């Protein structure tokens, strides 16, 4: 009887030790994942701020006045006279000369 009790008690101690080891492992994994989550949230906030700055910069670069100033200053471009403008995608315009094609 004493030998059987010792076997059961040994198995119980080993099972409890294994369960406690698994518990400690899971706690350490939970802690590690919490730190990873905090780092990822911080990175997300930085990326959101950077996206907002880039969207603002893109909107600034697309301003018509700025684009026109660069076109006139750097490239020497001017607004074309109406005779050089060709309308696309609309109804066909009547020709000034009156000739039909």
Domain boundaries, position 22: 2-76
Does some domain include residue 62?
A: yes
Is residue 86, in this structure, part of any structural domain at all? no
CB 79 within 8 A of CB 85: no
Q: CB of 91 within 8 A of CB of 97?
A: no
Kindly state whether residue 18 falls inside one of the protein's structural domains: yes
63 inside domain: yes
The whole-angstrom separation of Cα 99 and Cα 101 is: 7
10-residue stretch averages of pLDDT, the chain, 101 residues long: 90 97 97 97 98 94 87 88 84 60 50
Using an 8 Å Cβ cutoff, are 71 and 77 in contact? yes
pTM given for the model: 0.52
The total number of structural domains in the chain stands at 1
């Amino acid at each position: 009887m004493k030998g059987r009790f010792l076997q059961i008690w040994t198995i119980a101690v080993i099972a409890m030790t294994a369960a406690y080891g698994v518990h400690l492992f899971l706690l350490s994994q939970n802690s590690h994942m919490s730190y990873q989550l905090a780092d990822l949230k911080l990175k997300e906030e930085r990326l959101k701020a950077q996206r907002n700055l880039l969207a603002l910069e893109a909107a600034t670069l697309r301003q018509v006045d700025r684009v026109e100033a660069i076109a006139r200053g750097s490239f020497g471009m001017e607004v074309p006279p109406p005779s050089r403008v060709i309308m696309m995608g609309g109804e066909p315009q009547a020709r000034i000369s009156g000739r039909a094609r």
